[in-house]
Amino acid sequence: MILIILNFVVGTGLIMYGVNLMSSGLESANLKVIKKLLFKFTGKVFSAFLTGTFVTALVQSSTAVTVITVGLVNSGLIKLSQAVGIIYGANIGTTITAQLMSVKVNKTAYIIVLLGVLLKCISKKKSSKSFGSALLGLGLMFSGFNILNLSVSCIEQSTVVHEIFQKYGQNWLVGIIIGMISTMIVHSSSATVGITIALFNSNLISFATALGLTFGDNIGTCITAQIASLKMGINGKRTAWAHTLYNIIGVLVALIFFIPFTRMIQEITCYIGQDKSRLVANAHTVFNIVSAVVFLPITRYYVKFIEWIIPSKTR
């Protein structure tokens, strides 16, 4: 039991720390580029969407991109409609992390850690050191998965722990609640999706529960933007709520079509020749792509809806 808890805590800790280190490293290395792109290439909703996708794929942190976007709208540098487009894209860009996590690297993880440490120590340029931090974070993330997987055989041998997972690991509603709360605590949907991938690939939770956790992660990640907007003006608050309601509505729609959505993910994964270990990552990606495709044509009305539910004080 102690070994299970130790492996789980250490593995989970390394995943969360690795994801945060990778994101902050990439963000630090590209901060000027991020702000320039978000300001310069977001004239229309679709270009804002593409820019949000690219920038988030570059820094692997939808939270960072969203918070920067909230600040840009609050300062009047971009409009709410542009910010909404960026949010659509940010949700897609961040799914690359989950796709990386679903790839098995085993001992290669430790080589990546070593390369990251060497780059941080040898490099004199700040950008190179930041990239070294990102590489180190990537290696630690993969190392966390390796350690987390050590718990699997121990869990299978422990009747008590195995029964807990069998009892609570098959309920998608419990998954949504846990996913939402855990992401609110750690402020990283990428980290919690990664842990979900590890649990599902270890057969400790069902695919339905894994989807529930992923949906909860998407809602929980909105807390950072909400906190950032507390001391901002009306436009900053509207942007934070646009992000939150976008994810909540997306999850509600996905739950209505839960069974067809589940089958679609399984068929897509099978069609492109991947095994079940990629199901959760693919679900995360497809969910965010479908949400963006549905919302893009109605952005104008969605913005009006946000302005209606969060009216200006002069009104």
CB within 8 A of 213, min separation 6: which ones? Answer: 175, 176, 178, 179, 192, 193, 196, 199, 205
* Residue 248 or residue 169, greater confidence: 248
Per-residue pLDDT, 315: 44
CB within 8 A of 298, min separation 6: which ones? Answer: none
* Residue 5 or residue 279, greater confidence: 279
Residue 315 inside a domain? The answer is: no
CB within 8 A of 256, min separation 6: which ones? Answer: none
- Cβ(223)–Cβ(187) below 8 Å: yes
CA atoms within 13 A on the CB side of 29: 21
pTM: 0.83
Residue 198 inside a domain? The answer is: yes
pLDDT band for position 294 (cuts 50, 70, 90)? very high
At 49-78, the pLDDT tens digits run 998 898 888 777 787 788 888 888 888 878
Give pairs for 247-253: CB < 8 Å, separation 24+: 247/91, 247/218, 247/219, 247/221, 247/222, 247/291, 248/219, 250/218, 250/287, 250/288, 250/291, 250/294, 251/176, 251/215, 251/216, 251/218, 251/219, 253/291, 253/294
Per-residue pLDDT, 314: 43
* Residue 2 or residue 312, greater confidence: 312
Compute the chain's Rg from CA coordinates.
20
Residue 225 inside a domain? The answer is: yes
At 104-163, the pLDDT tens digits run 777 788 888 898 898 888 887 877 888 888 888 888 888 887 777 776 656 656 666 656
Per-residue pLDDT, 3: 65
| Number of domains the chain is built from | 1
- Cα–Cα dist 110/70, whole Å: 37
Of 56, 50, 112, nearest to 292 by C-alpha is: 50
Of 114, 133, 109, nearest to 11 by C-alpha is: 109
> 103: domain range?
2-309
Residue 314 inside a domain? The answer is: no
Residue 281 inside a domain? The answer is: yes
Percent of the chain with pLDDT over 90: 29
**What average pLDDT is seen over the chain?**
83
- Cα–Cα dist 52/44, whole Å: 12
At 182-215, the pLDDT tens digits run 888 877 787 788 888 888 887 778 899 999 999 9
Per-residue pLDDT, 169: 64
